[in-house]
Amino acid sequence: MRQLIVTEWMSLDGVFDSTLMNKWFEPYHSDSRAASIRDTIDNCEVMLYGRNTYEMMYPYWSSLKNNEMGVAGKLNAVKKYVVSTTLTTAPWQPSTILGQNALKEIAAIRQQEGGPILVQGSATLVKSLLEAKLVDELKLMIHPHILGFGKRLFEGALDTGLERVDIQKLDKGVTVVKFKMIR
């Protein structure tokens, strides 16, 4: 059975808004943070995206051909699933669209033999996966910055128990906290 791992980058107050990354993400760049991100991506066998994250990432990463930042090669080659009821094509190959029955299809993919399924960003999808109890691990990369505004990762009602299993301290005060889901 595959593990479904959700990894998110966020400010201390839960902002993960990609349009504001110049404030809460970029100032905290370090070699240790880059290595942590690379390791997470390198250790997955499948990527799972919501439509918005897929459409944000596809144009940039698909244009890179020389394994830029040490992850472009993996992101371009790995099997990708995108959850959407509106997309008709998924040009970032190899990609498959999961539509109306996405949670059932994800549960079936999770039951297959193979390496981890990685979700990045995709807040709406992540909330649905958490509610459906399909997440095995939640990995939060927390940046020591309080922004006070912007899109937050956990908005709206969600009742999910977690058990912290690891804490990794990176340079510039960035902390990676890994949780397993309590079912």
Number of domains the chain is built from: 1
SS3 of 50, please?
A: strand
- Residue 156 above 90 pLDDT? no
- Residue 155 above 90 pLDDT? no
Chain centroid to CA 21: how far? 15
Query: What local confidence, expressed as pLDDT, does residue 144 receive?
Result: 98
Q: 56 phi and psi, to 5 degrees?
A: -75, -40
Query: What local confidence, expressed as pLDDT, does residue 114 receive?
Result: 96
Helices assigned H by DSSP within the chain: 21-24, 31-42, 51-62, 72-77, 102-111, 123-131
Taking only the tens place, the pLDDT of each residue in 75-108 is 999 999 999 999 999 999 999 999 999 999 999 9
- Residue 158 above 90 pLDDT? no
CA 183 to each of CA 85, 112, 164: distance values in angstroms, whole numbers, following the listed order? 28, 20, 14
Taking only the tens place, the pLDDT of each residue in 46-68 is 999 999 999 999 999 999 999 99
- Residue 167 above 90 pLDDT? yes
- Residue 146 above 80 pLDDT? yes
Query: What local confidence, expressed as pLDDT, does residue 159 receive?
Result: 86
Which CATH number is 33's domain given? 3.40.430.10
| Domain extent for 154 | 4-181
- Residue 157 above 90 pLDDT? no
- Helix (H) or strand (E) holding 165, with range, is strand 162-169
Q: What share of the chain is helix, strand, coil (3-state, %, to 5)?
A: 35, 25, 35
pTM for the predicted model, two decimal places: 0.94
